[in-house]
Chain A
Amino acid sequence: MIHTPETEKEFKAQIKKSLEKDFMRKTLTNFSVAYRQSRSNAFANLDLEGMREDIACMKDAGIPNLTVLFDEFKKNAEAAGTIIHVAKDGDEANRIIAQIAKENGVKRIVKSKSMTAEETFLNDHLEKDGYEVVETDLGEWIIQMRHEGPSHMVMPAIHLSRYQVGELFSDVTAKKQDPEDIEGLVRVARKELRPTFIAADMGISGGNFAIADSGAIGLVTNEGNARLTTTLPRVHVALMGFDKLVPDVSAAMKILKILPRNATGQALTSYVTWIKGTNECAPGPEGKKIQHMIFLDNGRLALAKDPIFAEVLRCIRCGACANVCPIYRMVGGHTFGHVYIGAIGLILTTFFHGKEKARGIVKCCLNCQSCKGVCPSKIDLPFLIKNVYAKVQEEDGGKPLKTRLTSLLLKNRRLFHTTMKAAAKMQGPATDGPYVRHLPNFLMGDHNFRRLPAIADRSLRDDWKQVKPKVTNPTLKVALFGGCAGDFIYPEQGKAFAKLCEAYNVSVDYPMDQSCCGLPTMMMAQMDTAKDIAAQNVKAFTAGDYDYIVTLCASCGSHIKENFPKLLTKKGAVPADVKAMADKLIDFSSFMNDVVKVKSEDFMNLGRKVTYHYPCHLVRGLEVTEAPMALLEKAGVNYVESNESQVCCGFSGSFSVDFPMISKNMVAHKLDNAEATGATTLVTDCPGCVLQLRGGAEARGMNLTVKHMAEVLLEEKK
């Protein structure tokens, strides 16, 4: 039986414990690196974006019509002898299956892997009723014997080492098994499970798709156990969620072309099994199989009608959102999820298993966008995670005090800016140059992994009159979106931008009514505040007729470009002023490289050794990767790429305060990789990343300067 913490405290304790599992962490880290490569190989020469778009469209067309697809499926399957059931929840599904077993005099049951059966805890139910149930997928068999849940949707036993499996198999066979001989261990499963297959009366499978216009299902597997499960026993039961319904073979094939490639980097799994109706089966009545299919609702049909969350039903269960998640790889699936794990698990848990099981995990997301970038169904996972977090908080009745205060403060721009000013004065004696000398008590302990910056004496807005570029007949008229960190902590970055603009004859405004972009409130799941703030900012930038709105903060940028339209959609449409702001928004590097078109001749070409950290919201939010590289090349620096240069630095605003143990490991990983390049400067495009990386480097006493690209360009400028 799986255990999932229901309080934040218990959850944090579990995170700490998971962080101690060195083997698992190493395995998952290696996997995450290898996965990226094998995925990209698997999609070489294919139109991946087109394929993703196709899946999303096909799924979106089906979601409002699941019951129509179901009726069609039922008609076709029944005509071929299948008996169709609907279960409103997991319990009912389990009862139906137990009843089928009873009616058919079943004793022994074999199962092939099914996440839906994990969702309903089917094994527990059947075992309680006295049936012998054996999982036959190797990974599932292993975890069944260890009484664990799957720690990954596709690789359920990825958290275990060969030694743990070797020990288990030695027990099962009552004979010492050599853990180094993995082939030998696999042979144990083949040998032990053959007689089980042959003796079984009933086989239970899941289904990857249920094809409405034919009444057939499809199973995607590698081991061959699903074929045996659906062939040898006289009864076959398939359990599937309503979301597995697709209109026709062509839709199923769309999924099939992307699923194995995205899951494990395979062009196709060893087996894809398509089954319709009561096929030949000698021990069955009149030589035919007895076949039942159960469609599980468990909240899916209500989800299908939800304006925000319906999108999750696009999921094809490829598991990729966990593969690339920097948190998953650190703590593993038993901590980062309940039954369903990874990004999709953070969302589904609330709907399928209730907010008690979701409370701990929903907060634990960096918003790093990695999951979203690989999701074959283009589900906006990070956005939905924040929405589900909001839902859990609401249902829990009230928001934590800290959240309410932040929300209140950020909603009121004047109050916020006055507070920041006051804070800058008050912190005086507690600072040590640009850093805070002592951390406030609640930030001690776990938080010592980085030095926190002091609030600047004078903010960017305080000095804007002097800073504003002095240009006549400018070639471009732009506005600067400062962002909190850019305005109050690192005004020097905005000043560098202003100087560069002056040199390139670009006029820059700093609309004073702008405020925090609101992303921090969304991170705390204050969706209403996030909307208010977004609207305030749109208003602040609409007045001036700017060619571009430039930001030095990739996070603010991607929030404005992507989330503003989502947050401010009215009656299904994005208002024109919101769209205009999103369209005009551009990040610093793209602006300098693609719009201003700076040239190599403009720079001194001193050849200092630098490496680069790609901010999450630059690569995966704004989808910018080339501009920073082009700029570094033009600036004539000696660029050395860091390993995993696109992985999150672990900052993510309040996340690093809530989960310092995770943030600490992530920044350590980043800095190790940067150190290995031998570079003396680490450049990035986001003040949040500067805060995390500079603070981390300082705490380690490294000889590494962390700078924003704007500062580096200015330093290199002739």
Chain B
Amino acid sequence: MSQGDILQSMKEGSEKAQAVVAPATTLEEAIAYAVNLTVQEGGTTMAAPGMDDAARKALSAACGEKGITLLDSPLRAQMTKIHTAFTWADRGIADTGTLVLNSDSEEFRIATMLSETHVAVLPVDNIVPSMDALEGYMTEHFKKGPGYIAFVTGPSRTADIERILTIGVHGPKRLHILFLDGGEK
């Protein structure tokens, strides 16, 4: 599979699972996207666990401009307040449109599970064609001791009432995936 095919398949898989896919050439662009989306949705807070200092600084500035609060650690104290979670995604699985999130950190888990909207930045070089390519990644991850990995395909959903597909039960109601194609991270 060429990289173009992989990207196309990742996009189709994600969209089929009701995720929104958009391109981003730099992390700044991704930050702007997340902040604007939060404003559009009427959100006032963001959580961004796992961002390095530089990214956090840029995010903090962008949030400040739009009057959005960038929540500080520990998020456990603010569990009901998280509108947008802005995070990296570790890997992508193209054929199902799945994000692989290294969720070892509790902060990361709280943000990605309890937010209303999750914006994940996925470096395009980290997308694999199918799950099989991740066997090594998974085995390695669990070799070092405790660990928590999440495969996420679209937003939270249920069909428990009359089999009618309804989005957003316990997890994020919206999932945006930004394909980062600028050699960053």
Residues of A whose CB lies within 8 Å of any CB of B are: 27, 31, 34, 79-81, 136-139, 142, 155-158, 160-162, 165, 182-183, 185-186, 189-190, 193-194, 197-198, 211, 213-216, 222-225, 227-228, 231-232, 248-250, 253, 256-257, 264, 267-283, 288
Tell me if A249 and B152 are in contact (CB < 8 A): no
Answer yes or no: B145 CB below 8 A from chain A CBs.
yes
Residues of A within 8 A of B172 (CB): 224
Q: Is the CB of B152 within 8 A of A271?
A: yes
Q: In the assembly, what is the distance between CA of A119 and CA of B164, in Å?
A: 27
From A261, which residue of chain B is reached at the shortest CB distance?
B96
Bound-state Cα–Cα, A182 to B161, Å: 7
Contact B169 A279 (CB under 8 A): no
Q: Indicate if the CB atoms of A227 and B109 lie closer than 8 Å.
A: yes
Q: Mark B137-148, 1 if CB is under 8 A from A, else 0.
A: 011001101111
**Bound Cα distance A215, B164 (Å):** 36
Query: What is the bound-complex CA distance between A288 and B148, given in angstroms?
Result: 13
> How far apart sit A248 and B135, CA to CA, in the bound complex (Å)?
9
Known: A198-B80, A268-B153. A138 touches B169 (CB 8 A): yes
* A198–B169 touching, CB < 8 Å: no
Interface string of B98-131 (1 = CB under 8 A from A): 1000001110011001100000000000000001
**Chain A residue with Cβ nearest B142:** A214
A113, chain B: closest CB distance, angstroms: 10
- Asked if A182 and B164 sit within 8 Å, CB to CB, the answer is yes
Judge whether B16 is part of the interface by a CB distance below 8 angstroms: yes
Given contacts A214-B139, A270-B153, A270-B156, contact A185 B148 (CB under 8 A): no
Distance in angstroms from B133 CB to nearest chain A CB is 10
Whether the Cβ atoms of A270 and B170 lie closer than 8 Å is: no
CB-based nearest B residue for A198:
B79
Q: In the complex, are the beta carbons of B151 and A271 less than 8 A apart?
A: yes
Contact A276 B146, beta carbon cutoff 8 Å: yes
For A222, the chain B residues whose CB sits under 8 A away are 156-159, 169
A270 touches B161 (CB 8 A): no
Given contacts A198-B79, A279-B106, A279-B147, contact A224 B113 (CB under 8 A): yes
Contact A194–B161 (Cβ < 8 Å): no
In the complex, what distance in Å separates the CA atom of A231 from the CA atom of B146? 13
Task: Assess whether A223 is in contact with B95, with CB atoms less than 8 Å apart.
Answer: no
- 4 residue pairs, one from A and one from B, having the closest CB atoms: A224-B171, A277-B146, A139-B160, A272-B151
Q: Give the interface SS of chain A, mostly helix, strand, loop or mixed.
A: mixed
Closest to B152 in A: A271
Q: Which one, A194, A264, A271, A280, contacts B159 given CB within 8 A?
A: A264
Asked whether, in the complex, the Cβ of B147 is within 8 Å of the Cβ of A189, the reply is no
Q: Is the CB of B142 within 8 A of A216?
A: yes
Q: Smallest CB-CB separation from A139: which chain B residue?
A: B160
Distance in angstroms between the alpha carbons of A274 and B148 in the assembled complex? 6
How many residues of chain B get a CB closer than 8 Å to chain A's CBs? Answer: 52
CB distance from A114 to the nearest CB of B (A): 16
Pick from B16, B74, B147: contact of A267, CB under 8 Å: B16
Q: Tell me the B residues contacting A by CB distance below 8 Å.
A: 13, 16-17, 74, 76, 79-80, 95-98, 104-106, 109-110, 113-114, 131-132, 134-135, 138-139, 142-143, 145-164, 166, 168-172
Contact B166 A225 (CB under 8 A): no
Q: Quick one: which of A31, A223, A228 contacts B157, CB cutoff 8 A?
A: A223
List of B residues within 8 angstroms of A269 by Cβ: 153
Q: Which residues of A contact B17 (CB under 8 A)?
A: 267-268, 270
A256 to B147 alpha-carbon distance, docked (Å):
19
- Could you write out 8 A-B pairs with CB less than 8 Å apart? A79-B145, A139-B160, A183-B166, A189-B170, A227-B109, A253-B131, A267-B17, A279-B104
- For the complex formed, measure the closest distance between the CB of B171 and the CB atoms of chain A, giving whole angstroms: 3
Is A165 a contact partner of B161 (Cβ separation < 8 A)?
Answer: yes
A225 contacts B170, C-beta separation under 8 Å: yes
What A residues does B139 contact at CB under 8 A? 213-214, 248-249
Contact of B113 among A228, A250, A272, A278 (CB under 8 A): A228
Our pick among B95, B135, B164 for the contact of A250 (Cβ within 8 Å) is B135
| Pairwise interchain contact B170-A193, C-beta atoms closer than 8 A | yes
Given the complex of chains A and B, what is the CA–CA distance between A214 and B141 in angstroms? 10
Asked if residues B161 and A157 are in contact (CB atoms below 8 Å), the reply is yes
Of B79, B106, B139, B155, most A-chain CB atoms within 10 Å = B106
A51 to chain B, nearest CB (A): 12
B169:A223 contact, CB within 8 angstroms? yes
Q: Are A190 and B131 in contact (CB under 8 A)?
A: no
Residues from chain B with a CB closer than 8 A to the CB of A278 are 146
Contact partner, A162, options B114, B150, B161, B170, Cβ 8 Å: B161
Tell me the complex Cα distance, A273–B134, Å.
14
- What residues of B have a CB within 8 angstroms of the CB of A81 in the complex? 146
Chain B residues, CB < 8 A from A160: 161-162
| Residues on the A chain within 8 Å of B142, using CB | 211, 214-216, 274, 276
Task: Verify A190–B170 contact, CB threshold 8 A.
Answer: yes
Inter-subunit contact A276/B147 (CB<8 Å): yes
Chain B nearest CB from A285 CB (Å) reads: 14
Verify A268–B113 contact, CB threshold 8 A. no
User: Which of the residues A186, A190, A283 comes within 8 Å of B161, measured between beta carbons?
Assistant: A186
- CB-CB < 8 A to A31: which residues of B? 163
Q: Which residues of B lie under 8 Å from residue A194 when comparing CB positions?
A: 80
Q: Is the CB of A227 within 8 A of B150?
A: yes
Give the contacting residue for A257; candidates B131, B145, B146, B147; CB below 8 A. Answer: B131
By the criterion CB–CB under 8 Å, are B95 and A267 in contact? yes
Complex Cα spacing A190 to B168, Å: 8
Tell me if B146 and A279 are in contact (CB < 8 A).
Answer: yes
Given A224-B113, A224-B172, A268-B153, 16 additional A-B pairs, CB 8 A: A81-B146, A157-B160, A162-B162, A214-B139, A223-B156, A223-B169, A224-B171, A228-B114, A232-B110, A253-B134, A257-B131, A270-B155, A270-B156, A273-B149, A274-B150, A279-B106
Do A274 and B149 contact each other (CB < 8 Å), given the known contacts A142-B160, A185-B161, A267-B16?
A: yes
